[in-house]
Structure 1
Amino acid sequence: MRVIYRFKAMETSITKIHQNLDRILKYLNPLLPLANCHMVEFFTDNHWDKLLPKNLIQTIDKWDLNYAVEKFWTYASEPENNDNCELRKWIHKAQSHNLTVNNDYCISVEDLEQHLKCWGACLPPEIKITEFMTSKKSYEVQRMSRLVASLYNATSSTHCMEAGGGRGHLLVALTLGYNVPSLTVDCDDKALKNAAQRVKIIQKQWRAIAKKVTNGNEENLTENRQCDMHRFATAFITNKTNVANIMKDSFPEYEKDYKILLTGLHTCGNLGPDSLRIFSSQTSTTGLFNVPCCYHLLTEKVDADLFDVFQRDYGCETSEHGFPLSEYLKGYNLGRNARMLAAQSLDRVLHHRQLPNKSLLYRALFQIIVKIHLPKSNLKDGKLKRVASKCDNFTQYFKMADNVLSLGLFDRLPDSYLTDVSNDLNYQWKQIVMFNLLRLCLAQVIESVVLLDRLLYLFENGYRKSYIVKLFDPVMSPRCHSIVAVR
């Protein structure tokens, strides 16, 4: 009877994820051209008129830039606002399709803590490390390591493995703070050697730089930990990587079966979905605690000519794409620019009231000139990345960009031509700013699709104890969600 009940519960959860994905995709699909557009072609392809609703354009065209931006900040910050305004409708409709902590599969840290207790874990105090990492990384490690240590205990794991750990920040806290035997695996051998040296330094200074945090109160640590519990291995991880073999090579003195908690703090590109595939297919893994990032480095079927940056560097090939993972979304594509957009943070922009850089305007205006006079030219934007910061106006930008790319256009064209191209810079800048903000509203919608696809993959493979957890403050750490699963 209990088996039937569990199956029914899983079916219900899968149905809910299907329904949520269907609702999001119904909204998102018509807007994918907007999500995948290139800002370089803003003027040449007339993005403003072609990719935005006419009613929204008409509303914004009535306002000056400062008023329009203030309206955006207001509406984006006040979800309960019911003004009958096209800008408010756009923002709030996008927000209504974001993943939120309000259901049984996207949960808060407090909800995760309750699950951990039900699974038999105790919740130790947080460990705060004040040196050897940025304030952002220190916050993430403090927030995450305690929960990883609790999941480690709840799953009766013998070791923790960090996929793509690089500098090993997370596992320093796990080993020195929570006494968890841990292995950081990364493909960059030089980074790992530097990390191993850093761990030795941290251990020597541990009691001076680490604090135990309980209910907001900090106290010194008195325990001495063995640095040898944190080890490093060089490997390029794919879905075919045998994690038990890597662990065996790194901890040969352990003679029993390895029970591995697989974790990763901001796993780039395909490393995130490959971690899920490893957890699903290899019984040596007991649990998963994965925070993804760099969605633009994922591969999809539409990226036939693109390679994962790490695959390219390490000569690895895989027939499996990073998106989608689930059978339900098989054949669906987001597009690389959409995935790149998903890695941007409206929360951070909103908090800091950030406007786009003037380089977007200058590059888009420069494209008008190039398209007219050198229509067959294939410009490489990488060479122009730092040009705008050295320029006070578009004329300076055009001259410098023309020189960097050796196009020979600046001296051939009269000054009056430049005036015609940038005949209304204030209005053109307003369009760029508002278009960028409006497009940014889709970022979390796209990220929601990626995260739900990963969760659905786990459910499809029978892992009922799987959740999306909103782990971090999105202003402090924009990639704030994690995937947590128990075998």
Structure 2
Amino acid sequence: MLKFDEHFKFGEYFTNCSKFLCQYKWIFEHSNTKFVQAGILDQLPKSWIRDLKSATTKELNLIPSGYVNENWSSDFKLFLSTVASLVVSYDEVDYSTAKQPLLKGLSPKKQYEIENLTVVIEEMCCESEILLDFGSGLGYLSQNLHLKKKFTVLGIDGDSFRVGASQKRQSKLFTNSTDNVKFVHHFIDENSFEYLNATVSLLFPQQSDTKFMIVGLHACADLSPTAIKMFLSNESITKIAIMPCCYHKLRVSGDSCNIFENIPLSNQLRRSLEKDKNFLCRPFLRLGCQQTSARWKLLTQDQHDSHGKAMFERSLVEAVLDEGQFVTAKKIRSTQFTENAYTNYYLRHNSNPTSNCPWTDHHIKRYNELLTQNPAGAQFAEYLTCLQTCLQPLCENIILLDRLCYIHEEASKQHILMRISMVKLSDDKLSPRCFIIKAEKEYDSKS
């Protein structure tokens, strides 16, 4: 296991990860609805299958956490040991206030995230700075920041309904914050700072010589890279603390489905991908934001069986569709067994997407053929999920470390002295997307 600190070697890590992930990209390169159609179960090494079959439920649960049985095959042990050598540990924070009553409308997960992110921001920010809450949603973080430290906050969200709801919630529950917390409807892009600066001057006229800090809980998809770029390109934005999520929603570049606008950002990751860029695909990004080993290790055998069966059935159904066809799950699922699980889905066609089509003899024949060819399909599907869970932290590391490396590169290019770090909320079982990117400009040196 590697430790992330100020001496972390980004280029070396990206190169080692890229080589490894290219070798095992069959584990994640297709979405889990396509693995039967893509023949992924046939790529599971027979020795790995034997090892996984021999594993107890406890052993299966601990594999993504680094467990290795010395009696397993050498190639499987090599895979697991290489994964362990590429896992990165981060400084952890836990300012949990679980004993306090939940704020109205908040789940324990969101309460935990907001309380922890609030403390991180408190430690970085002074009261004279204005906080720009990117993707403010219903205003939970903005209001908590004012409640705890009387910060001045501008909440920005691209969803007008959420902005309206946050304003209504403020007028009902947080009347004391109306002078210091404002919400605006705006879709943030890299050129938004001029608008945000003007908005702050209009809504907070008492502020002068303003310095800003960007904050964000659940900074979805491209919002996190956009926030980082805005932070780097505007001198008056001196700090950022943001929690990225939804990596699989990153925008593609042009007409390509596997070239993205905001990954890679750093030159060091870009160089490590020169020989083979194929593992940077949508399923790779999706795997980066799937469940962590913390949740996996709590599953019972019944839960493994149920998940493997559901995953296999869904992929079987996808494999029998003709061109232009798609399925939607029925709200009330049938209790039928795997032999005719297609009855759990409505069959539709792109030409008339709201109208149901009948399942034909052709579909049923193909379904039964695939079922016969994969008698242990449900079991193998859960093994595939186990392997994906092993790789999940590597995928997320690459996505997030690319952003940190980009900040380092740009700070060096612009001659900005910068404090840069990333911390992890300790309870990733409760909060799987648990990383906070932190950066602070210390001062500008001479160009």
Bin the TM-score by the shorter chain. 0.7 to 0.9
Matches within 5 A, 1:160-171: 160-171=131-142
Partner of 1:57: 49
Q: Is the 8 A contact 1:299 1:323 kept in 2?
A: no
- Distance change in 2, residues 1:284/1:450 (3 Å): same
Provide, for residues 255-309 of structure 1, a one-character-per-residue CA deviation record: whole Å limited to 9, x for no partner: x1211110001100000000000110011111000100000011354863599xx
Seq. identity, %: 22
Pick from 355, 361, 386: which aligns with 1:437? 386
Provide, for residues 126-148 of structure 1, a one-character-per-residue CA deviation record: whole Å limited to 9, x for no partner: 98753231111111111111221
Matches within 5 A, 1:144-293: 144-153=117-126, 157-203=128-174, 225-242=176-193, 243-254=196-207, 256-293=208-245
Secondary structure, aligned partner of 1:185: strand
Partner of 2:295: 348
Distance 1:302 1:391 in 2: 44
Distance 2:226 2:256 in 1: 19
TM-score calculated relative to the size of structure 2: 0.81
Partner of 1:310: none
Cα-Cα RMSD: 3.2
Q: Is the 8 A contact 2:130 2:153 kept in 1?
A: yes
Provide, for residues 97-138 of structure 1, a one-character-per-residue CA deviation record: whole Å limited to 9, x for no partner: 22212xxxxx3338xx9xxxxxxxxxxxx9875323111111
Distance 1:322 1:161 in 2: 21
Secondary structure, aligned partner of 1:474: coil
**Alignment-mate amino acid for residue 149 of structure 2:** Y
Secondary structure, aligned partner of 2:10: helix
TM-score calculated relative to the size of structure 1: 0.75
Deviation at 1:321, TM superposition (A): 1.4
Distance 1:199 1:486 in 2: 30
Deviates more, 1:335-344 or 1:470-479: 470-479
Pick from 467, 476, 479: which aligns with 2:421? 467
Partner of 1:109: 93
Deviation at 1:197, TM superposition (A): 1.6
Secondary structure, aligned partner of 1:286: strand
Pick from 19, 24, 49: which aligns with 2:12? 19
Would you say how many aligned residue pairs link Structure 1 and Structure 2? Answer: 409
**Alignment-mate amino acid for residue 72 of structure 2:** C
Provide, for residues 315-353 of structure 1, a one-character-per-residue CA deviation record: whole Å limited to 9, x for no partner: xxxxx8121111222374511111011110222222344
Distance 1:423 1:57 in 2: 19
- Distance change in 2, residues 1:403/1:235 (3 Å): closer
Partner of 2:337: 393
Secondary structure, aligned partner of 2:138: coil
**Alignment-mate amino acid for residue 335 of structure 1:** C
Secondary structure, aligned partner of 1:274: helix
Pick from 8, 29, 38: which aligns with 2:31? 38
Pick from 432, 440, 445: which aligns with 1:486? 440
Distance 1:302 1:359 in 2: 35
Deviation at 1:44, TM superposition (A): 3.0
Q: Is the 8 A contact 1:40 1:367 kept in 2?
A: yes
- Distance change in 2, residues 1:403/1:278 (3 Å): closer
Secondary structure, aligned partner of 1:228: coil
Partner of 1:446: 395
Deviation at 1:37, TM superposition (A): 1.3
Distance 2:92 2:162 in 1: 33
Secondary structure, aligned partner of 1:457: helix
Deviation at 1:378, TM superposition (A): 2.8
- Distance change in 2, residues 1:250/1:45 (3 Å): same
Q: Is the 8 A contact 1:176 1:227 kept in 2?
A: no
**Alignment-mate amino acid for residue 16 of structure 1:** K
**Alignment-mate amino acid for residue 213 of structure 2:** L
Secondary structure, aligned partner of 2:174: helix
Does residue 324 of structure 1 match 2:264? yes
Provide, for residues 52-78 of structure 1, a one-character-per-residue CA deviation record: whole Å limited to 9, x for no partner: 445323433x54xxx56443114344x
Secondary structure, aligned partner of 2:88: coil
Pick from 107, 114, 131: which aligns with 1:141? 114
Deviation at 1:403, TM superposition (A): 5.0
- Distance change in 2, residues 1:109/1:53 (3 Å): same
Deviation at 1:360, TM superposition (A): 2.0
Partner of 2:87: 98
**Alignment-mate amino acid for residue 296 of structure 2:** V
Which consecutive unaligned segments of at least 5 residues does structure 2 have?
Answer: 350-355, 412-416, 442-447
Which consecutive unaligned segments of at least 5 residues does structure 1 have?
Answer: 1-11, 102-106, 114-125, 205-224, 308-319
Distance 1:134 1:22 in 2: 39
Deviates more, 1:127-136 or 1:22-31: 127-136
Partner of 1:361: 312
**Alignment-mate amino acid for residue 85 of structure 1:** W
**Alignment-mate amino acid for residue 187 of structure 2:** F
Distance 1:19 1:306 in 2: 24
Partner of 2:353: none
